[in-house]
Amino acid sequence: MLLREVWFLVLVSYPLIAFAYLWPQDYRNVSMGQVCLAWTAFMIRTFLFHLGLVCAVIAIVSAWRRSWRLFAATLPLLAMTLGPSCWSCRPRLGSNRTAVVGETVRVMSVNLLALNRTVEPILAEIAETAPEILLLQEYTPHWHEALQESIGSSYPHAAHEIREDCFGAAVYSKRPFVRRVTTDLGLGTALVPQMRAVVRIDARQVAICNLHLLPPRTYSYTVDMRGQFADLLDRLGAERLPVIMAGDFNFTEASPNAAALGRLGMADAQDLGGWGRGATWPVQSFFRYVPGLRLDHVYLRGGLTCTSCRTGIGRGSDHRPVIVEIGFAK
């Protein structure tokens, strides 16, 4: 009976993965059937790596028991689910990295966790990292007070949208803003702050976007998140400046959302200059012992690249920060 169940899991995984990648994502379509099917495809792609771990156990046990047909049936699944993560762990030689011309800028994106009252660890991590541009999500009144007291004097240029809920946001910069910071990009109908600033890097204007999209954990949130993302694609299509777009996107690198950004020329800094999966969530609770998800990203476009990308510690939050050294590619 167990063998039949394992065979069923292996065989049903193929059409599920095919469905997840072939289902068309129409982010403007709000019909219940479309939203539910799109959410299902989204979730399958979100947990592909975890499905691959289950398949790896099946492959090992089947090889040990000399069940060669089951072993052979599992191998393509391993390539599809674990292959990209294994490839991300390859050695990155200096010659394989994109060279940068001129100066680099250190950018740090941090989801602070609105409920986190233990502010000292993250404040110490920010001070130690010393980013030139700091992008913050879940920016609440107590975080504003703590940051102003600890690092406010080090960042003469700042814009913030302070909220009691989980959707406040802030941008701290050591470089002057070229124009007034926009705190509402008009993404979706959820009235969640999404920020855009413009600074100069190597004498060129660069748009800095600080985003926090809704998590697709309920039906209404899923509909709102899809509307946010549809508006984001339109805004990126109209953006003429080089872009650094960072924050808590609540989708992974394997998601259809990430693929849509890739088609617009947005490159994930983790894929350019990072090593490994770059998981950022969760940091707390029992689930921190389970392989995490990369929900926080830094995306680049317009000739920008990075020399390094890494995740921080994020002690006290439920997300790890993302720290990237960014410049213009040669």
Strand partners, 304: 328
Contact residues for 140 (Cβ-Cβ < 8 A; gap 6+)? 112, 114, 162, 163, 164, 168
- Give yes or no: residues 133 and 281 share one domain: yes
Indicate which CATH number applies to the domain containing 238: 3.60.10.10
Answer with the one of 88, 109, 141 that is the final residue of a domain: 88
Q: Please indicate, yes or no, whether residues 280 and 150 belong to a single structural domain of this protein.
A: yes
Stretch (H or E) spanning 5: helix 2-22
End-to-end distance of the chain based on CA atoms, in angstroms? 59
Which strands form 322-329's sheet, in the order they lie side by side?
157-161, 169-173, 133-137, 100-111, 322-329, 304-311
Q: Are 179 and 201 part of one and the same domain?
A: yes
Q: Are residues 13 and 144 in the same domain?
A: no
45 with 254: CB under 8 angstroms?
yes
Question: 77 near 57, Cβ under 8 Å?
Answer: no
Question: Mean pLDDT over residues 240-253, rounded?
Answer: 98
Average pLDDT, the chain: 95
Tens digits of residue pLDDT in 143-179:
999 999 999 999 999 999 999 999 999 999 999 999 9
Residue 151 is encoded by which pair of tokens? 């690092």
Q: Give the pLDDT confidence score for residue 139 in this predicted structure.
A: 98
pLDDT band, residue 186 (cuts 50/70/90): very high
Q: Do 226 and 113 lie in a common domain?
A: yes
Domain that holds residue 180: 94-329
Residue ending a domain, among 88, 117, 139, is 88
Which pLDDT does position 271 carry in this prediction?
94
Domain count, the chain: 2
Q: Check whether 277 has a pLDDT greater than 70.
A: yes
- At residue 99, does pLDDT exceed 90? no
The model's pLDDT over 76-95, given as tens digits with 9 standing for 90+, comes to 999 999 999 999 988 766 54
8 Å CB contact between 313 and 125: yes
pLDDT in tens, 125-135: 999 999 999 99
**Is the pLDDT score of 116 beyond 90?**
yes
- Check whether residue 117 and residue 45 sit in a common domain: no
pLDDT at 96 over 60: no
Which residues neighbour 105 within 8 Å (Cβ) at sequence distance 6 or greater?
132, 133, 175, 201, 325, 326, 327
Closest CA to 328 of 285, 246, 255, 272: 272
Dihedral-angle region of residue 100 (phi above 0 means left; psi in -120 to 50 means alpha; beta otherwise): beta
User: 165 and 245 share a domain?
Assistant: yes
Q: Tell me which of 53, 88, 123 is where a domain ends.
A: 88
Residues 204 and 234 in one domain: yes
The pLDDT value recorded for residue 285 is: 77
Are 84 and 99 within one domain? no
Question: How confident is the model at residue 85, as a pLDDT?
Answer: 93
Same-domain status, 125 and 81? no
Same domain, 120 and 77: no
pLDDT digits (tens, 9 = 90+) for 5-61: 999 999 999 999 999 999 999 999 999 999 999 999 999 999 999 999 999 999 999
As given in the structure block, the two tokens for residue 53 are 């771990």
User: Given this model, what pLDDT does residue 2 score?
Assistant: 83
Higher confidence at residue 114 or residue 330?
Answer: 114
Please determine, for residue 305, whether its predicted confidence score (pLDDT) is greater than 70.
yes
My answer on whether 84 and 98 are in the same domain is no
pTM: predicted TM-score of the whole model, two decimal places: 0.95
